[in-house]
Structure 1
Amino acid sequence: MTVLIDSSDDLTLDNIARVAWMGEQCSISDRALSVIRSRRQEFVDFVEQNADRHLYGITTKHHVGAKSVLGDDGRAEFATRLPSTPATVGPRLPERLLRAAVLARLADVLNGTACLRVETVHRLLDLLETDLPPVPARGNGEPGDIIPLGHLLRTHFDGTLEIGEGMALINGSPVAAAALGDAALAGRHRITVMEQMMALGAVAIHAPAAHYAPELEAAWRDEHQAEAIHNIRRLIETDDHSSELPYQAPVSFRSGPRVIGWARRAQAAAEECAEIALSASSNNPIFVGPAIHPPLGAVLSNGGYHNPLVAPSLDSLARTWADVCQLVTAQVNRIVEDPRGLVATEPESQVSLLYMTSAGWAEEARAAATTSLIGLGGAGQTDTGTPDLLAWRKAHDAGAALDNNLAVLGIVASHTLARSGQSVPRRLAALSRQILRRFPVGSAPVDFGAQLESVVDLLSRPRDDAAAPVSELATT
């Protein structure tokens, strides 16, 4: 299938999921191309009438070169290329994030604030049909995204451009918007898995149904917490309450629905901010057309390259996922130590030793959940940097740690239930059986690594699930 883009309003998370995660093609409507063509002409007319003015990256060079207006020959030569950018090294950004960045780069063009030629827009979209260049994930200390955009676009566009196109391609924050979108998409399915695994854990520890009573939905006065406890209650629903504890389960089981409720709120906020970031103009400078700024328009230098929604939203997700990861480890420990659990039913300590693995992943998540503050840049005008890709990496690491830890919880809970002969509630039974097929009771420790990885894979987001919105649990 092909995603048709008619305006920047179409740069949604759902469409990003289709193109970036699922590999669908993308095209721009004829109407949008007509608008792009007209805006390009307005921009060229404006520049021709203002060639003696300081227009950043258009009639001047970039950075310190902005102090001098270029002559005709210098302006023509500079127009053909991408402005110089630094480079970095290290592990690469995933292809899906780069595909999202290519789409996000279209926002300024569709908004009319970056005036590419139609043929340049087509070439930009052509990148989605190729293997994208390697773009390092680390060492990005600039304001905006000029380092990753340089890696991504230079070999394809350098030397082939016309007036104003180089700055329109290289400046701004489309990679940051893509990074937030990537994390938001990753979080959608993760919440469902949190609820499923914590529900399995609640059954394994014999948590009283009262901990998940419907009356709590109103008592806590938060729609997201209400949804979390509602979903967990439906998962553990059973007619047999004979094995429930006559007293409270440990704190981590009672706190679970509330913390997952916060995760739902953080996820919703991240999705809202991602939708804004993906469709907003982010370039510096931007062109404002004659309809808004007569008679010919205006070129406005601005701080669009710094998207203030991205790093704080990513930090919120990282901290949320790390918090849930701590609860998961606490639950694993309590299930392992339960006198009716693996301690009593395993012939020797084997699967129960996964509490050590769980503790390791909790520490990994904790280490990732640190604040990403605005960086102190170099000398001169570039005196601060944006930490968006650093924040993305920390959110990615915290999320991966949580995914692995949730798999440990699912294994420990499923083995506990299987060894004790306790029945699994109907809505969890199929999932628990799948976990046990991948990590069978009685497995030899030599197989633990591969089988744990197999369960992580089982619980990971299906590719066709990336575009599904966060909603009430669909399992019936």
Structure 2
Amino acid sequence: MTVLLERGSDLTVDVVRRVARDGEAVELTAAAVEAVGRRRREFLDFVDAHGERHLYGITTRHHTGATHLLTPQERAEYGSHFVTVPSTTGPGLPGRVLRAVLLARLADVLNGTAAVRPETALALVGMLDGPLPHVPERGHGEPGDIIALGHLLRPRFTGHVEIGEGMALINGSPVAAGVLADAVVSGRGHLAVAEEVVALAAVAAGSPDAHYDVRLAALWGDEHQTAALARLRDLLAGGGRTVLPYQAPVSFRSAPRMLGWLRRCQAQAEECAAIALSASSNNPVFVGPDVSPPLGDVLSNGGYHNPLAAPVLDALTRAWADLGQLVTAQVGRLVLLPDGIAATESEPRVSMFDMTSSGWAEEGRAAAQASLIGLGPVGRTDTTTSEVLAWRRARDAGAALVANLAALAVVAAHTVARRGAAVPPGLAELSGAVLTAFPLDTHPADFGPALVRVQEHLLR
């Protein structure tokens, strides 16, 4: 399949998933290419008529050079080379994230606020088809995304830009939009898996149906908790499971509300990612004659600072880390059941996975820190943004949650299987897959590979 893009609103989280993760191709429609060319001509007419104005990165240089107006000769020379930006080192961002960033970079192009040439727009799209440069994920102390964009775009566009295109390529906040969209795609999977594994744990614990009663929805008054309750009821329906005559431990009774909170965080992240992907974020932006007659205008602005990305990523991180704590509590409770793993194993084996679970819970807890606006260096760059740092923390918390859910899934599936108890139809596929990946009586030497297989199934 090929994704066709014509306007900024075509850039969605689903497009990011299809292109960045599933490897689908991208093309600009003929109408989009024509619109890019028309906007470029309007931009050049505007610059020719306003050469006496301080237009950031166009009639001036960037950063501290913004105070000095360039001569026509200096302007032409400056516009012909890729803008100088700082650099950093370290492990690289995954290819899927870089493809998400490239997609987000197209927003200004398709919105007409980055007045690049059609060949530049097509070159950006072409980068999605080939290997991408190494872009370090550490050491981003800039306002906006210029370090990451410099690493990503410099190899392709050095010697291939003209006036105004340098700032249109390396300024703005497409990295913020890209990393947020990447976390949102991951979050969809984390949510679905969490609900299934927590439901399987409820079967193993004999958690009473009252804990998921439909009447609780009206009492709690939250659409996302209502949805979590409904999902758990569906997964637990049928199968004739045995339930306790008294209430289950707190971690099992709190699970529907925690999953509802995760649903709310995911919904907020979906909304913010949709906004960020299609929004114009360049500094400066060009608005055409249709907005500001007769020739348009260039607006210097704070588009490089995406205020949605880091706080929303932090919210996902906290939700994933918090759920990890609850998962660890459930693992411990299942291990200690009178008819649980510890009571049925010939020696402590899977029953010791409460230690593994505790370790992963602490990994998630360590990631759950606030990613605040940074205090920048002296001078004009007096604050920095922290989206890549927030993404790293979310990635780590998400990975810890999935690993912890794998431990819970093994303990729960083994508990039920050793009893010879029935599994509800909605959980049969998960339980079967876990027991296939990590069979009963797996030798301890094979625990590591078996756990990896369970995690791979959860990440499918």
Give the TM interval when normalised to the shorter protein: over 0.9
Structure 1 CA distance, aligned partners of 2:317 and 2:146? 25
Structure 2 CA distance, aligned partners of 1:196 and 1:290? 54
Residue 293 of structure 1 aligns with which residue? 292
What SS does the corresponding residue of 1:4 show, helix, strand or coil?
strand
Stretch deviating more after TM superposition (305-314 or 284-293) = 284-293
> Shift of the alpha carbon at 1:410?
0.4
> Shift of the alpha carbon at 1:159?
1.6
> Shift of the alpha carbon at 1:73?
2.1
Residue 20 of structure 1 aligns with which residue? 20
| Structure 1 runs (4+) greater than 6 angstroms displaced | none
What SS does the corresponding residue of 2:135 show, helix, strand or coil?
coil
Query: Is 2:435 the counterpart of 1:439?
Result: no
- 5 Å-filtered alignment, 1:54-453, equals 54-238=54-238, 240=240, 243-453=242-452
1:406-446 Cα distance to aligned partner (Å, 9 max, x none): 11100000011111212111211222111011101001110
Structure 1 CA distance, aligned partners of 2:227 and 2:349? 36
Letter in 1 for 2:358: A
> Shift of the alpha carbon at 1:72?
2.1
- 5 Å-filtered alignment, 1:460-471, equals 460=459, 462=460
> Shift of the alpha carbon at 1:291?
2.1
What SS does the corresponding residue of 2:362 show, helix, strand or coil?
helix
What SS does the corresponding residue of 1:27 show, helix, strand or coil?
strand
Letter in 2 for 1:46: F
Structure 1 CA distance, aligned partners of 2:260 and 2:296? 48
What SS does the corresponding residue of 1:129 show, helix, strand or coil?
coil
> Shift of the alpha carbon at 1:240?
2.7
What SS does the corresponding residue of 2:114 show, helix, strand or coil?
coil
What SS does the corresponding residue of 2:128 show, helix, strand or coil?
helix
Residue 469 of structure 1 aligns with which residue? none
TM-score using structure 1 length: 0.95
Structure 2 CA distance, aligned partners of 1:420 and 1:344? 11
Structure 1 CA distance, aligned partners of 2:229 and 2:115? 49
Structure 1 CA distance, aligned partners of 2:28 and 2:195? 39
> Shift of the alpha carbon at 1:239?
5.6
Structure 2 CA distance, aligned partners of 1:267 and 1:240? 32
Identical pairs, percent: 58
1:167-194 Cα distance to aligned partner (Å, 9 max, x none): 0001000011000000001011211111
Letter in 2 for 1:326: Q
1:192-240 Cα distance to aligned partner (Å, 9 max, x none): 1111100110010111111111111222111111111111111112363
1:364-420 Cα distance to aligned partner (Å, 9 max, x none): 001101111000000111000000000000011000000000111000000111112
> Shift of the alpha carbon at 1:289?
1.1
Structure 1 CA distance, aligned partners of 2:432 and 2:127? 43
C-alpha contact 2:39 2:112 (8 A) present in aligned 1: yes
C-alpha contact 2:40 2:115 (8 A) present in aligned 1: yes
> Shift of the alpha carbon at 1:319?
0.4
- From the superposition, tell whether residues 354 and 239 of structure 1 become closer, same or farther in structure 2 (CA, over 3 Å): closer
Structure 2 CA distance, aligned partners of 1:91 and 1:403? 22
1:310-361 Cα distance to aligned partner (Å, 9 max, x none): 0000000000001110100000000001111011101110001111010000
Structure 1 CA distance, aligned partners of 2:403 and 2:123? 40
Structure 1 CA distance, aligned partners of 2:167 and 2:271? 28
Structure 1 CA distance, aligned partners of 2:90 and 2:24? 28
> Shift of the alpha carbon at 1:107?
0.6
Residue 47 of structure 2 aligns with which residue? 47
What SS does the corresponding residue of 1:355 show, helix, strand or coil?
helix
Letter in 1 for 2:374: G
1:134-184 Cα distance to aligned partner (Å, 9 max, x none): 101111010000000000000110121111000000100001100000000
C-alpha contact 2:239 2:425 (8 A) present in aligned 1: no
TM-score using structure 2 length: 0.99
Structure 1 CA distance, aligned partners of 2:207 and 2:287? 61
Structure 2 CA distance, aligned partners of 1:273 and 1:130? 29
Which runs of no fewer than 5 residues in structure 1 stay unpaired?
463-476
Structure 2 CA distance, aligned partners of 1:291 and 1:189? 42
What SS does the corresponding residue of 2:286 show, helix, strand or coil?
strand
Number of aligned positions between the proteins: 460
C-alpha contact 2:4 2:27 (8 A) present in aligned 1: yes
Structure 1 CA distance, aligned partners of 2:243 and 2:111? 59
| Superposition CA RMSD, Å | 0.9
What SS does the corresponding residue of 2:216 show, helix, strand or coil?
helix
